[in-house]
């Protein structure tokens, strides 16, 4: 670390980013319902803000309901109901092996709702 302090700075930056992501995840699990978490995940994917793995910005392109469930701390069946609600509300369109975001403002509204 003394010879290459830039490595220590970069490692600290990566760890701080992971800690922020973990804190946000715990906050979501504690204060927001599944529908809100699913809407938030789809919104961040649609806006290009959600990298599931460091350096993998295309990770949201092919995402399954099981993946969404794992990332939102839920199960596929509950995620499926949330997706149907979002589709009925006009936020998304469910296509074969794909979720198309139609209206990000509707997703924003759902993503901001606290747990009921």
> What are 61-114's pLDDT values in tens digits?
678 888 899 988 899 999 999 999 999 999 999 888 788 889 999 999 999 877
Q: Which helix (H) or strand (E) holds 24?
A: helix 5-31
In this prediction, residue 58 carries a pLDDT of: 53
- Other Cβ atoms closer than 10 A to 42: 26
In this prediction, residue 74 carries a pLDDT of: 93
Q: Tokens in use for 112? A: 């901001």
In this prediction, residue 2 carries a pLDDT of: 85
In this prediction, residue 50 carries a pLDDT of: 61
In this prediction, residue 5 carries a pLDDT of: 93
How confident is the model over 34-61, as pLDDT tens digits? 999 999 999 988 888 765 545 444 556 6
In this prediction, residue 116 carries a pLDDT of: 53
Instruction: Please return the burial class of 27, using the count of CB atoms within 10 Å of its CB with bins 0-12, 13-18 and 19+.
Output: exposed
DSSP structure class, residue 113: P
Q: Tokens in use for 10? A: 């970069």
């Amino acid at each position: 670390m003394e010879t290459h302090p830039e490595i220590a700075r970069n490692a600290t930056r990566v760890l701080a980013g992971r800690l922020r992501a973990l804190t946000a995840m715990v906050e979501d699990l504690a204060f927001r319902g599944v529908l809100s978490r699913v809407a938030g995940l789809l919104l961040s994917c649609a806006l290009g803000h959600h990298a599931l793995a460091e350096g993998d910005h295309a990770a949201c392109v092919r995402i399954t309901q099981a993946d969404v469930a794992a990332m939102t701390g839920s199960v596929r069946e509950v995620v499926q109901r949330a997706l149907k609600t979002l589709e009925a509300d006009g936020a998304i369109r469910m296509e074969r092996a794909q979720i198309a975001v139609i209206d990000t403002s509707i997703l924003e509204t759902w993503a901001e709702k606290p747990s009921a």
